[in-house]
């Protein structure tokens, strides 16, 4: 009588341990493969279009010109820090930032991070028309 009772209890316990094994395996798999949500910013740029004649008509007479070199940044040909550029541009863009066009000439020797930094600061003061052209040097 005592033997029979013990057998029933054992049968009820058996599937649990293997199920826990599987469940833990799944849990560890999902924890390991779960990655941080990458928060990306997308900086829209305008590329030079092949039909130049049409483009020149659209552009306002004097675009803001920023030159990105490997080790420095220039505004209208004068070397200055990025903070200074923001100071210089802010009063100009205050009224209608959407209408102003920025020409960003980038040296082929510059790094992408240099360009992204300039694009980022242009966007921070509200400039959205960012034309990126390559500087032949």
Partner 1 sequence: MKRRNQEEMQTPIASLIDVVFLLIIFFVVTASVEKDIIDESIMLAQAKHVPPVEQKDPRTITINIEVDGSANIALQPMSPKALQNILTATREKGGNSVPILLRSDGRTIYRDVSKVMDVVGKSGLYRVSLAAEAEGK
Number of residues that bind partner 1 (CB under 8 A): 48
- Angle (CA) 66-71-72 rounded to 5° is 35
User: Which residue number, 62 or 116, has a Cβ lying nearer to partner 1?
Assistant: 116
Using the rule CB under 8 A, give the single segment among 52-60, 71-79, 92-100, 104-112 that binds partner 1.
Answer: 104-112
74 touching partner 1, by CB under 8 A: no
Task: Give the CA distances from residue 91 to residues 73, 88, 97, 128, in Å, rounded to whole numbers and listed in that order.
Answer: 19, 7, 10, 16
Q: Which of residues 38-57 bind partner 1 (CB under 8 A)?
A: 38-50
Say how far apart CA 17 and CA 23 lie, in whole Å: 10
96 touching partner 1, by CB under 8 A: no
**Shortest distance, CB of residue 51 to partner 1, whole angstroms?**
11
Q: Which residue in 66, 100, 103, 107 binds partner 1 (CB under 8 A)?
A: 107
With b meaning 16 or more CB within 10 Å and e meaning fewer, what string describes 81-100? ebeebeeebeeebeeebeeb
User: Which residue number, 25 or 62, has a Cβ lying nearer to partner 1?
Assistant: 25
Q: Which residue in 11, 18, 34, 57 binds partner 1 (CB under 8 A)?
A: 34
Q: Which of residues 116-135 bind partner 1 (CB under 8 A)?
A: 116-117, 119-121, 123-124, 132, 134
Phi, psi (deg, nearest 5) at residue 102: -110, 130
Say how far apart CA 51 and CA 75 lie, in whole Å: 27
Q: Which residue in 3, 4, 13, 15 binds partner 1 (CB under 8 A)?
A: 13
């Amino acid at each position: 009588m005592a033997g029979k009772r013990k057998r029933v209890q054992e049968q009820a316990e058996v599937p649990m341990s293997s199920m826990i094994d599987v469940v833990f395996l799944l849990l560890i798999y999902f924890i390991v493969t779960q990655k941080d949500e990458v928060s990306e910013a997308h900086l829209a740029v305008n590329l030079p279009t092949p039909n130049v004649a049409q483009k020149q008509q659209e552009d306002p007479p004097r675009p803001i010109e920023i030159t990105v070199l490997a080790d420095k940044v220039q505004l209208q040909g004068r070397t200055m820090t990025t903070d200074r550029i923001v100071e210089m541009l802010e009063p100009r863009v205050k009224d209608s930032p959407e209408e102003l066009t920025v020409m960003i000439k980038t040296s082929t020797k510059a790094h992408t991070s240099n360009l992204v930094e300039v694009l980022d600061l242009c966007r921070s003061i509200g400039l959205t028309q960012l034309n990126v052209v390559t500087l032949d040097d």
